[in-house]
Structure 1
Amino acid sequence: MEEGRSSPGVKKEYKGRTTPFVVGVCIVAATGGLVFGYDNGISGGVTSMDPFLIKFFPATYKKMHQKEAHTNAYCKFDSQILTTFTSSLYIAGLFACMVASSVTRTYGRKPSILVGGLSVLVGAVLNGAALNVGMLILGRIMLGIGIGFADQAVPLYLSEMAPKQMRGALNSGFQMFVAIGVLSANITNYGTAKIHNWGWRLSLGLAVIPAIILSLGSLWLPETPNSLMEREGPEKARSMLQRIRGTVDVEEELSDMMEAKKISETVKHPLRNMMQRKYRPQLAMAVVIPLFQQLTGINAIAFYLPVLFRTIGFETNASLMSAVITGVIGTTATVLGMFAVDRYGRRFLFLQGGVQMLVAQVIIATILGIKFDSSGDGSMPKVYAYLLLVMVCIYVVGFAWSWGPLGWLVPSEIFSLEVRSIGQSIAVTVNLLLIFIVAQGFLAMLCHFKFGIFLFFAGWVFLMTLFVYFFLPETKNIGIEEMNSVWREHWYWKRFINEESPIPIKIEGSRKIENTQ
């Protein structure tokens, strides 16, 4: 067997423990999720505030209050200009994360995190001080650039720093902070909605807080051992490994990193290399998992939950409070998922969460289809409105402990070092592209599909649950540099790995030894 590689089916046991230092740096890095979550959550509440609509989108405000608008209550907020405000962030992030791939590989994970924090800081200031729609959109674009860099670098950083037995929990910290960011945004919107005329400025401007936290935190963060190995050599990587693992005996993990570096040095064009057949399983997951994560419909809920509840008859404050309630529940569920992911595994949570979301969405569609008066005053009996809120909470819980954190975790842990940065960029690009499409299209889809919008997303949840069952291998407790073993053993993906990886022969003394990898 070739040195530095384990046989298929054998999990290496690296030396070391989960040190307070590695927990601390992972918590600081995971605050990148605050930026993503706050900017996700803030726009939905702001676009439901009358002073904001009057200043920037008067035509939409007028449409909301015209009597003829009530002929279809689902269409009250349908405005492509309004959705451009929300979605411009994600199209900017889409392009930024491809640039971030080169920065992350060439200069390290830490500089990309810093660039992300500073860009969000600039965008938050522009949005809070916006005088016209152009300034507003420019601020959102700067936020998008920051999110593109942060989302590309932070999950990679967490997966590379965490010991394999805690990788799921520590990486899920990113999604936990996303949930905290969404909750903070909902609470902020609930409070600022009571401030006449300029409350929306406070909501948008307070995005400077998570941006400052991330920017200052990134200055303290050390570089990951994998990045140090790739850019500066084994001695720097060994020193960092010893620090984060709490032991001097790190040679086995270091050996795997050294082998990964040798392969990485042969790759001059990572994107072109990523298209090779032997990377087909990882490429498929980098595309399909973030695509399905967004087709759960979660960001439609996150962006437009206050708007949705206003549509079904809640007043402004009541709709914002409903968003706060779902935010608290989602954050709690994310924390529970952090404790479960390394115990029960990725597949179990993916499948359980998928079934839970599917059932909840079908019930939501049924309630809206039967009890919501979309052609009258746009209301529904209160008992059903509150039942709807309960089902939305059940749906949010299902996402929060499954597809929420795992949609970031799994793509960040499955790539070999030589394609890890570009692989993560592909995953983030798909994620942001789908967020853009959903954000840009949700209000129009709500107008035309009506309650069927939830059946649309439920159909995707059904398909993605089947995909996980048949095509996603379990990755818990597998070292990040020995992840290829899971594809070699999978009933479908092994054909790509084994065909591209013929068994070499090594000569040791007078004996021939087959490399079973």
Structure 2
Amino acid sequence: MEEGRSSKGGVKKEYKGGITPFVVGVSIVAATGGLVFGYDNGIAGGVTSMDPFLRKFFRATYRKMHQEEARSSAYCKFNSQILTTFTSSLYIAGLIASMVASPLTRLYGRKPSILVGGLSVLVGAAINGGALNVGMLIAGRIMLGIGIGFADQAVPLYLSEMAPKQIRGALNMGFQLFVSVGGLSASLTNYGTDKIQNWGWRLSLALAAVPAGILTLGSLWLPETPNSLMETQGPEKARAMLQRIRGTLDVEEELSDMMEATKTSEMVKHPLYNMLQRKYRPQLVMAVAIPMFQQLTGINAIVFYAPVLFRTIGFQTNASLMSAVILGVVGLAATVVSMIAVDRYGRRLLFLQGGLQMFVCQVIVAIILATKFDSSGDGSISKGYAYLLLVMICIYVVGFAWSWGPLGWLVPSEIFSLEVRSIGQSIVVAVNLLFTFAIAQGFLAMLCHFKYGIFLFFAGWVFLMTLFVYLFLPETKNIGIEEMNSVWTEHWFWKRFVNQEFHIPIGIKTSSNT
């Protein structure tokens, strides 16, 4: 019997080769797809707090902010469904685009989808920067959404398939690291352009072309993944790429596993239907639950509307934008910590610790707002408590940035078998963007009606998702991507759903074959 992980546990396979500068380089370039996602996530919240932008496109909201009689509740002064449609239209477009991207990614490879994503965002940035009316703003956001749908569908797959398993977590988390860099760049951009009278918001929106340009040019250089080459061009091309990224000529064991996975994949004509089979039940549940819970942490409510939120609790415009910059800095630092820790301590520990940290912070924020924030009149709060709120939200962002932020992309990208990998990632992206859309569209109305209770609402979800991880998510650290099926047969709950035959590791012969 070959060295491997048997269906009852056993030894993990150890493929030949190591960590090469080439695989690190291409992973960094591919991960710049996160810049696009992070920048477009972060830029909208700051722009929608700028008076010149509101005066031009959302006059009713602008008047509501500045008319004293409209301030019956400080929580409600930004509530506008048209304003939130500007923000959230990106995500419904991305949802649809991710499902279109799935068959294209499977048939033509990961690289073309990344290229399409970059080009679409370039077009969206140009439209938004030159927008003359709300229709143009939303059209630009839709183009951005199409680009994000393609990029988010392809980039995590690309990273998981290229990376050696011993650093797969860190390299895949490069995507979230660049999401954080993109978000921080958006906050810094908004802080600077807010000083430009009348047209600063145009510069903020148009500069989305910078990360899109980086991704587009980078994608032209990227090679295709060995898994995709095996599917589209055959084993010789896949072998050559494996040898290049692993730094060794001895790649036959990994190549053999890849060939077996490809044969299984070729028998699947309808991946979505196949994904509904009982043996894929654990992966399907994770493909829905993890991105759903990631958004129900409330993080995007903070990212989208951090400047708006801080203005609501008493910060002035420029101070609220600077607070968003601070959140970006702490989030970026925490993501770096997560990249260092994930392959050493595993996914589950970070999920559980981050969940507990976010839960405690959200409860404390709700208590402070309930007892110390005057929501009538001008929405005043003492400077000391305002800074305490900022600190607690920073600690909350840290908890997200080293747990559910990067792991929400990493874990789904590494658990799917090749035959359902592309459709599985599309489901992940679609669910993520669906809930992002719902929260983006509903947050300001929820803030108006729930008031401080909005943080208790998200805290309840954080508690549930932390319990879900504890009970149902197995550890995937240091397991080869083509060996991943074995984690389900050893799990106390999921083993009842999957066939024993499904979990015979690739390369290990059954008695009927000997």
- In 1, Cα distance between the equivalents of 2:24 and 2:457? 40
The aligned residue for residue 138 of structure 1 is 139
Q: Label 1:232 to 1:392 Cα distance change in 2 as closer, same or farther (>3 A).
A: same
1:86–1:439 CA contact under 8 A, matched in 2: yes
Do the aligned partners of 1:75 and 1:444 also contact (CA within 8 Å) in 2?
Answer: yes
Tell me the distance in 2 between the aligned counterparts of 1:507 and 1:251.
14
1:341 counterpart residue number: 342
Which residue of 2 is the match for residue 240 of structure 1?
Answer: 241
SS in 1 for 2:15: coil
Task: State the Cα distance separating 1:231 from its structure 2 match.
Answer: 1.2
Letter in 1 for 2:204: S
The one-character-per-residue Cα deviations of 1:468-511 (angstroms, maximum 9, x if unpaired) are 0000000010000010000010000011113674989x999xxx
Counterpart code for 2:84 = T
- 1:71: Cα distance to partner? 1.1
Flag the 1:5–1:486 CA change in 2: closer, same or farther, 3 A.
closer
- Whether 1:102 aligns to 2:103 is yes
Contact 1:6 1:12 in 2 (8 A): no
Aligned partner of residue 13 in structure 1, secondary structure? coil
**In 1: Cα distance, 2:174 partner to 2:59 partner:** 40
Find the counterpart in structure 1 of residue 394 from structure 2. Answer: 393
Q: Distance in 1 between matches of 2:364 and 2:3?
A: 55
- Residue 136 of structure 2 corresponds to residue 126 of structure 1: no
**Equivalent residue letter for 1:430:** V
Aligned residues with identical type, % of pairs: 82
Match of 1:287 in 2: 288
Measure the CA separation in 2 of the matches of 1:2 and 1:56. 66
Cα distance, 1:314–1:274 mapped onto 2, change above 3 Å: same
Deviations 1:394-426 (A, max 9, x none): 000000000000000000000000000000000
**Match of 2:85?**
84
Q: CA deviation at 1:207?
A: 0.3
Deviation at 1:515, TM superposition (A): 8.3
Query: How much does 1:66 deviate?
Result: 1.4
Q: Distance in 2 between matches of 1:515 and 1:45?
A: 62
The answer on 1:451 being equivalent to 2:467 is no
For the pair 1:376 / 2:363, whether they are aligned, the reply is no
Equivalent pair of 1:4/1:259 in contact (CA under 8 Å): no
Distance in 2, matches of 1:501 and 1:188, equals 50
Matched, 1:257 2:258: yes
Structure 2 counterpart of 1:403: 404
Matched, 1:355 2:356: yes
Q: How far apart are residue 513 of structure 1 and its match?
A: 2.0
Instruction: Specify the alignment match of 2:423 in structure 1.
Output: 422
User: What letter is aligned with 2:245?
Assistant: I
Q: 1:68 offset after TM fit, Å?
A: 2.1
Q: 1:256 to 1:507 in 2, by over 3 A?
A: closer
For the Cα contact (< 8 Å) 1:172–1:406, is it kept in 2? yes
* Inter-partner Cα distance in structure 2 for 1:317 and 1:304: 14
> What's the TM-score once normalised by structure 1's chain length?
0.97
Go from structure 1 to structure 2 and tell me whether the alpha carbon gap of 1:439 and 1:502 turns closer, same or farther (over 3 Å shift): closer
Name the CA distance, whole Å, in 2 between partners of 1:420 and 1:114.
19
| Structure 1 residue 252, shift from structure 2 partner | 1.0
Shift of 1:379: 1.3
Residues 279-327 of structure 1, C-alpha deviation per residue, up to 9 Å, x if partnerless? 0000000000000000000000000000000001100000000000110
Distance apart, 1:367 and its partner CA: 0.6
Report deviation, 1:203.
Answer: 0.2
What is residue 513 of structure 1 aligned with on the other side? 511
Structure 1 residue 69: Cα displacement? 2.2
Corresponding residue number in structure 1 for 2:498 = 497
- Distance in structure 2 (CA, Å) of the matches to 1:138 and 1:8: 53
Alignment correspondent of 2:465: 464
Stretches of structure 1 that go unaligned for 5 or more consecutive residues are none
Q: Is the 8 A contact 2:6 2:504 kept in 1?
A: no
**In the TM superposition, what is the alpha-carbon distance from 1:2 to its structure 2 partner?**
9.0
Q: 1:515 to 1:342 in 2, by over 3 A?
A: farther
Return the offset for 1:4.
8.4
Contact 1:4 1:255 in 2 (8 A): no
Once the two structures are TM-superposed, the CA of residue 130 in structure 1 deviates from its matched residue by: 0.3
**Equivalents in 2 of 1:306, 1:296: separation in Å?**
19
Describe the shift of the 1:39–1:462 C-alpha distance in structure 2 as closer, same or farther (beyond 3 A): same
- Amino acid corresponding to residue 513 of structure 1 in structure 2: S
Show the counterpart of 1:307: 308
> Over the residues paired in the alignment, what is the CA RMSD in angstroms?
1.8
Instruction: Note if contact 1:74-1:374 (Cα within 8 Å) is conserved in structure 2.
Output: yes
Task: Confirm or deny: 8 A CA contact 1:507 1:513 kept in the other structure.
Answer: no
Contact 2:5 2:12 in 1 (8 A): no
Contact 1:412 1:424 in 2 (8 A): yes
Give 1:56's aligned amino acid. Answer: F
Confirm or deny that 1:488 pairs with 2:464: no
Matched length? 512
Which amino acid in 2 is paired with 1:82?
A: L
Shift of 1:6: 4.4
Is the contact made by 1:4 and 1:256 (CA closer than 8 Å) also made in structure 2?
A: no
TM-score by length of 2: 0.97
